[in-house]
Amino acid sequence: MSPIVADILIRAPLAILPIVLFLLSLIYLDSYKLVGLRTIIGAIFAGAAAAAVCYGINTWILGGLHVDAALYSRYGSPIVEEVVKSVPLIYMIRRRKVGFLVDAAIYGFAVGAGFAVLENIYYLRSMPEAALSVWMIRGFGTATMHGCATALFGIVSKLLTETRSGVGIRVFLPGLLGAMAAHSLHNHFIVPPLISTAGIMLVFPALVFLVFRKSERSLQHWLGTGFDADMELLRLINSGGLSDSRIGKYLGVLQHSFRGAVVADMLCYIRIQVELAMRAKGAFLMQGSGFPIRSDPQVREKFEELRYLERQIGRTGKQAIAPFIHTKSHDLWQLYRLKAD
């Protein structure tokens, strides 16, 4: 074995293992295990692809435009890299694949981990003789920074999508600016690299702990209150006592604007969606207790029926019953997960 290969084998664990172990610890901390392993792996590969794209962009800017390397490292590369890393998360959030803050933290960190691993592999090949302290700083500091910055973007973006009705591009700007600022601050080297690395190692676990606690409280509250509300609504529908309830009176008012058959389809749509929502919450509770979840062919049939009823009701009809159906971020996500199983 050549000395260069031996040096790389010694330095590689310092450059790569810390970020991988951080990601595994996040997955372990997720009590309900709601993040899909395939999606995490996909996020890692998306992060690696982002690193390859950024390498091409950065090389072109530095070489073709003759930009000062130090200045670009502080202000240019943070913008380019955080924008490119944000693309997979924007896609996932807009497609309702991210249900809670913990999901956003894990998926964001996975994208950053994929980015950092490929970047450090490149530097291992191009700087095989660098000191061990360099790889310690890159593994525990720079790599963790990439994961933290993208996780920060995911957390802020998820918070904003929960408080706003739409998921337009403007919703993602605050999180993106925060990630850029954190990345740029790291690249300014205001304090010595070893102190900066130690700061990242101290601050990030505390931040993640707070996010996980807040997310799990939110999930527990959502499972409890949401399950009770869905059960009460389903009881009213099945018992025939709906006419005296607020939803029954509301549907009675809608008869003046829609045909009777359409109102009946609206009620059927509400019933099926409530049944699916209760099934999803029950599956998540079982999964959190360690029970395996098996796919049910009846679920797909119910989703097919929902699509049919949506066509019968129309966009106006669906908007009319919006107060009684699941349209919030958590609710849409639970239906997506149930459909995907």
* Domain ranges, ordered by start, for the chain: 3-216, 240-340
> 210-230, pLDDT tens digit by residue?
777 776 666 555 544 555 566
Residue 327 clears pLDDT 60, i.e. is over it? no
How far does Cα 236 stand from its chain's mean position? Answer: 35
Are residues 165 and 202 in contact, defined by beta-carbon separation less than 8 angstroms?
A: no
Q: Kindly tell me the burial class for residue 257, based on how many C-beta atoms sit within 10 Å of its own C-beta (0-12, 13-18, 19 or more).
A: exposed
Residue 31 has a pLDDT of: 61
Residue 119 clears pLDDT 80, i.e. is over it? yes
In the chain, pLDDT over 90 holds for what percent of residues? Answer: 23
In angstroms, rounded to a whole number, what is the distance separating the alpha carbons of residues 74 and 92?
29
Give the single-character DSSP code of 138. I
Residue 51 clears pLDDT 80, i.e. is over it? yes
Give the chain's mean pLDDT.
78
- For the chain, helix, strand, coil in percent to 5 are 85, 0, 15
In angstroms, rounded to a whole number, what is the distance separating the alpha carbons of residues 181 and 187?
10
CB burial of 155-173 (b: ≥16 within 10 Å; e: otherwise) equals bbbbbbbeeeeebeeebbe
Residue for token pair 């700007």: 173
Residue 91 has a pLDDT of: 93
Residue 147 clears pLDDT 60, i.e. is over it? yes
Q: What is the band of 165 on the pLDDT scale with cuts at 50, 70, 90?
A: low
Residue 4 clears pLDDT 60, i.e. is over it? no
Q: Kindly tell me the burial class for residue 53, based on how many C-beta atoms sit within 10 Å of its own C-beta (0-12, 13-18, 19 or more).
A: middle
Residue 219 has a pLDDT of: 59
> 232-273, pLDDT tens digit by residue?
666 666 666 555 666 666 666 566 567 778 878 887 887 887
As a whole number, mean pLDDT of residues 146-169 equals 84
